[in-house]
Amino acid sequence: MKRILIPVALLCATAARAEIKERIAAIVNGQPITLSEVEERVGPELARVQQISDETARARDKSSLLHQGLEQLIDEKLIESEAHTIGADVSEDEVQRGLEQLARQSSMEVPEFKEALEQQGISWETARETVRRQQLMGQVLRFKIKPRKITDEEVQTAYAAIAKDPEYEVRARHIFVATPERATPASVAAAHKKAEDAMRRVKAGETFALVAREMSDGPTAREGGDLGYFKKGLMLPAIEQAAFSLKPGQISPLIKTSSGYHIVLVEDRRAIPPKPLPEVKEEIRNRLANESIFKERENYVASLRKTAQIDEKLETPGPVSSR
């Protein structure tokens, strides 16, 4: 079965809902933004927040998330207003080409893409309107924000900063004791005991690789749990956090995750030398150009906010929890 990749912009699109919520979240230059629009904008993350068991943390995180979504919608509303001021317009052909491009990015033909959207509860008309709005805002930003030429000196300065603060990688070994998918208290207790037994053997002086071969349930057990060298962003967060906080020769405490128990031994830590400047200068130049455009967009939207009449009606949120 083909994997369906629906663009985030469309997943967050305003779609028809059975329950109509009339509560106003903000009024921007006389134009309302409803609470239902905000909820739809942050829908995927909102579903995650609703799973937080602590009621206080759940309420705080939901409030903060809704506020973030509202700020995005306010910015978009202001940019859309500017589109009318400068006479920007998007033709039906441009919208159609935009939809066709999204379909290609999802490795689908347009009819198949349309069906996939509808399965997600997004009508084709809603998709067309979302693409039109995105293209309209793009026209405004291209009209108002001119790309700045990044000099060779800026590229060299950025490269020097990378060389001064290099990325690191570690070499580690790993013992993993799995808990069953439908774990019972007894099976969890058995896995915990097995993991503790492995830890005791390692602390008693047995070779980590030998214990891993005999006791690990992980795919690297035959290699003595050898994970090789890896940098940040490639391992489970809990494993990564342990590996990059330990010094060579140190062993982590027992780590519990949803899949089981882990023990990590760090064997080496080394800096990753940067590639030669000629190989990466265009990549650095593009990154600096994108950062410059993003900063200019922020400044432009801030200038629109200064002259706009914005009445936000959502309560100011607290910080999002680290769950």
Give the Å distances, CA to CA, from 57 to 48, 67, 143. 12, 15, 42
Q: Which of 273, 172, 268, 269 is nearest to 228 (CA)?
A: 172
Q: Which residues of the chain have pLDDT under 50?
A: 1-6, 8, 14-21, 320, 322-323
- Kindly report the pTM of this predicted structure: 0.61
Question: Is residue 216 left, alpha or beta, with left meaning phi > 0 and alpha meaning psi from -120 to 50?
Answer: beta
Strand order in the sheet with 226-231: 226-231, 168-178, 260-271, 255-257
Instruction: Say if strands 310-312 and 24-28 run parallel, antiparallel, or are unpaired.
Output: antiparallel
**Distance between CA 46 and CA 34 in Å, rounded?**
16
What domains can be seen in the chain, in order of their start residue? 8-145+297-312 (1.10.4030.10), 168-271 (3.10.50.40)
- CA 57 from centre of chain: 21
* pLDDT number for residue 15: 44
